[in-house]
Chains A and B, each alone.
Chain A
């Protein structure tokens, strides 16, 4: 069993839809939780960063962490074709990041 589980997709949605991306994890020692967006042949871009249970909002993005259930989510409102990318959840363990496999998102216009 992997430490971080993430459905690789692909997830296809129409433009304007609300997108829900999720990760589950097994290690309760993970401290900080991040979401990255990666376009093809580019480095990951940090979207959201949080360390406590609850919601954090930034523009069209909302990150949700439920430490009791070991579950994190990223919601994207009013999705756009430019949101089409791979979304990686990541969690810190000491100095390191542990990544999910990444979910491929395709937003169709």
Chain B
């Protein structure tokens, strides 16, 4: 149990375009989902916290107009990187927190390359 999926697993896009990443909790409901970014050989950096049906809360230094987050249901959150630039190239990972607990389960990650 406690499986989180992400789609796509790898995406290449041109500079200036937008990319949407989906995060789904497959076998449990999650009122709260999180989006992280990870650079090579570094730990995870929390970008934002998304709660179902409400606006996401962004960490300091994360541009909310660039990284659009939607959490439309208890099993789906999306991250859209708008007007992507090469510096946005990174590994993006989502996690979902179980409803009646504190455990967070992570998706497999999405590797974004902006050319």
Contacts and interface: CB of A to CB of B under 8 A. Distances in A.
Interface of A: 31-32, 34, 36, 41-46, 49, 51, 88, 90, 92, 95-97, 99-102
A32 B103 CA distance: 9
Instruction: Classify the interface of chain B: helix, strand, loop or mixed.
Output: strand
A43 B108 contact: yes
A102 B41 CA distance: 9
Nearest to A97: B104
Interface stretch (B12-20, B43-51, B60-68): B43-51
A43 B93 contact: yes
Contacts of A31: 102
B107 A43 contact: yes
A101 B105 CA distance: 18
Contact of B109 (A32, A42, A88, A92): A42
B103 A101 contact: no
B111 interface: yes
Interface in B8-48: 32, 34, 42-44, 46
Given A36-B106, A46-B103, A49-B103, A101 B43 contact: yes
B91 A46 contact: no
A49 B102 CA distance: 9
5 contacts: A42-B109, A43-B108, A46-B2, A96-B34, A97-B104
